[in-house]
Amino acid sequence: MSDPLNLKDADVPRLPRGVRLAPDRVRGGTVLLAPEKAVRLDDIGVAILGRVDGAASFGDVVSGLARDYNAPEDQIRTDVQKFLTSLRGRIYLELA
């Protein structure tokens, strides 16, 4: 049985109100800021969330990353799905 939080290609992910990407001025890098929380992101997380703009579909995000990083789309889809599903489970991501 698939996870009910999994995204379909046509789903349009977005950051909910109060959640945003921000530079981490103390340690460097980028964090995902949410009320009372800060999640440090690696370069891959930044690349994924940089494409989550409330307009691009999940399929668009996957195909864009696969193209830009010259990587197999199936592998990118699996990794992006896992990352975004995790964020949805913590309510750091919603569907438009």
Query: What 3-state DSSP class applies to 78?
Result: helix
Report pLDDT digits (tens) over 26-69: 889 999 999 999 999 999 999 999 999 999 999 999 999 999 99
Alpha helices, H only, the chain: 43-49, 58-68, 73-89
CA distance 9 to 60: 8
> What is the CATH classification number for the domain harbouring 53?
1.10.10.1150
Domain count, the chain: 1
pTM of the model: 0.92
CA distance 79 to 73: 10
In a domain, 4, yes or no: no
Per 3-state DSSP, the chain is made up of helix, strand and coil in percentages (nearest 5) of 35, 20, 45
Report pLDDT digits (tens) over 73-90: 999 999 999 999 999 999
In a domain, 37, yes or no: no
- Show the tokens assigned to 40: 């440090």
